[in-house]
């Protein structure tokens, strides 16, 4: 089917959704939502935005969509499924933030303490930074992902956390801590170092054994490339000549800022666990989802963005890492979770994610025209 035909199918399915919704139903019919999502996903793949897409929509206890499209591995022609394992990049940050909040609850970490009380050997300017400022990107610590070739030329290297922070340790601070906001991957590597020191266990091990497995998340991992992980997707990039394997990138480098692999099944379930008090207390979750200070205008809490979509409150975060992009959101007033993973690093799935969420919420799609009657 051509992309044009796919677009017409999306539009026709959309008419079915809202045609049904106008006769007194508060939510679009599940079958109609599935038809729209199927059409959106196929059109996305037809447009060569990604070799594969996995999508999960949950509403309370009900599974609305759970599907995979395209190929998780182009060379082996392995089809994608809801059980396909993707690198999820910065969605990792909310897991690290939740781990910190658990330690805050037990009194082992104070959010307003200097990070120098937990991590030794930091540059003098960094010692003025609080734990809270690491978590909401208001620290001013320069990020390694913003220094160009000094980092880009070293993607293949396995690096310790000390080596990673040393990449910018001699650089000037971006701003005085707490006075501005700027997305900061080195800041979240420091979050992992803080967890290492306080728990006495390396973040990769702590993440899996103390956080993920006790919650029943059996298909989420620290994404060590040397491990044999079932269902792992290959990562790709796309240019004018077609698809290419993504460059090798050592997964020691993103650490607590972005080194997780997961399935849409697990991350969709995580959204409900986190919001319902199963991971951290309701008070801690409110802290994680309440932007304060210089982070407030950006809507950034702790590893989570607070926003709206079509008037519906949304708590979300995306992820982008070499060869993969992802989007994940929870709509608390609708008890709705939407998760979209792709194995392409060249394009982000934000527009797809928003239209998938709009379909589930019974909102008009953006960029898709319904056929004339």
Do residue 275 and residue 327 come from a single domain? yes
Dig out the tokens for 245 from the structure.
Answer: 């394997």
Do residue 167 and residue 238 come from a single domain? yes
Do residue 134 and residue 171 come from a single domain? yes
Do residue 174 and residue 293 come from a single domain? yes
Residue 25 has pLDDT above 90, yes or no: no
What letter does residue 294 receive in the DSSP assignment? G
Residues in contact with 120: Cβ distance below 8 Å, sequence separation at least 6, in sequence order:
197
Residue 341: strand, helix, or coil: strand
Do residue 257 and residue 370 come from a single domain? no
Q: What is the pLDDT of residues 124-155, one digit of tens each?
A: 999 999 999 999 999 999 999 999 999 999 99
Question: pLDDT class for 7, splitting at 50, 70, 90?
Answer: very low
pLDDT of residue 66: 98
Handedness of CA 286, 288, 289, 294 (dihedral sign): positive
pLDDT of residue 4: 41
Q: What is the pLDDT of residues 286-325, one digit of tens each?
A: 999 999 999 999 999 999 999 999 999 999 999 999 999 9
Q: What is the CA radius of gyration of the chain?
A: 21
Q: What is the pTM of this model?
A: 0.93
Give the per-residue SS3 of 72-112.
EECCCCEECCCCCEEECHHHHHHHHHHHHHHHHHCCCCCCC
Do residue 149 and residue 265 come from a single domain? yes
Q: What is the pLDDT of residues 143-189, one digit of tens each?
A: 999 999 999 999 999 999 999 999 999 999 999 999 999 999 999 99
pLDDT of residue 26: 67
Do residue 19 and residue 113 come from a single domain? no
Do residue 21 and residue 153 come from a single domain? no
Please state the domain count of the chain.
Answer: 2
Residue 16 lies in domain: 1-49+349-373
pLDDT of residue 9: 52
What letter does residue 48 receive in the DSSP assignment? T
Do residue 68 and residue 187 come from a single domain? yes
Q: State which H helix or E strand residue 19 sits in.
A: helix 3-21
Q: Rounded mean pLDDT of 331-354?
A: 97
Do residue 334 and residue 356 come from a single domain? no
Do residue 28 and residue 80 come from a single domain? no
Question: In this structure, what CATH number is given to the domain that contains residue 127?
Answer: 3.40.710.10
Half-sphere exposure of 107 (CA within 13 A, CB side): 0
Closest CA to 337 of 361, 320, 318, 319: 361
Are residues 88 and 319 in contact, defined by beta-carbon separation less than 8 angstroms?
yes
Do residue 3 and residue 108 come from a single domain? no
Give me the chain's average pLDDT, please. Answer: 93
For 58, 325, 328, 361, the CA distances from 336, given in Å and listed in that order, are: 6, 21, 11, 9
pLDDT of residue 368: 65
Dig out the tokens for 357 from the structure.
Answer: 């969420």
């Amino acid at each position: 089917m051509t992309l044009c035909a796919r677009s017409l199918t999306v539009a026709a399915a959309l008419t079915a959704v809202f045609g049904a919704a106008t006769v007194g139903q508060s939510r679009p019919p599940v079958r109609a939502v599935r038809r729209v999502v199927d059409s959106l996903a196929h059109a996305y793949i037809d447009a060569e935005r990604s070799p594969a897409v996995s999508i999960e929509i949950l509403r309370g206890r009900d599974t609305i969509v759970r599907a995979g499209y395209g190929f998780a591995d182009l060379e082996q022609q392995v089809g994608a499924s809801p059980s396909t394992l993707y690198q999820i990049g910065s969605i990792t940050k909310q897991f690290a933030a939740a781990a910190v909040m658990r330690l805050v609850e037990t009194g082992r970490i104070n959010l307003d303490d200097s990070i120098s009380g937990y991590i030794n050997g930091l540059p003098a300017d960094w010692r003025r930074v609080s734990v809270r400022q690491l978590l909401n990107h208001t620290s001013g610590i320069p990020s390694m992902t913003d220094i160009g070739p000094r980092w880009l030329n070293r993607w293949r290297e396995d690096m310790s956390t000390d080596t990673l922070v040393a990449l910018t340790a001699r650089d000037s601070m971006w701003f005085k801590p707490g006075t501005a906001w700027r997305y900061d991957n080195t800041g979240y590597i420091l979050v992992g170092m803080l967890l290492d020191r306080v728990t006495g266990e390396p973040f990769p091990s702590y993440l899996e054994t103390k956080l993920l497995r006790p919650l029943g998340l059996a298909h989420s991992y620290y994404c060590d490339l040397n491990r044999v992980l079932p269902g792992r997707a290959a990562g790709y990039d796309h240019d004018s000549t077609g698809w290419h394997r993504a460059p090798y990138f050592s997964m020691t480098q993103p650490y607590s800022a972005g080194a997780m692999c997961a399935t849409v099944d697990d991350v969709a379930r995580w959204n409900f666990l986190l919001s319902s008090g199963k991971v951290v207390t309701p008070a801690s979750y409110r802290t994680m989802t309440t932007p304060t200070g210089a982070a407030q205008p950006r809507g950034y809490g702790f590893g989570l963005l607070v926003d709206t979509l079509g008037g519906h409150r949304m708590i979300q975060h995306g992820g982008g890492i070499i060869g993969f992009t992802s989007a994940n959101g929870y709509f608390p007033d609708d008890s709705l979770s939407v998760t979209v993973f792709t194995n392409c690093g060249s394009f982000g799935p934000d527009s797809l994610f928003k239209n998938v969420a709009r379909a589930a919420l019974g909102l008009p799609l953006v960029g898709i025209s319904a056929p004339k009657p």
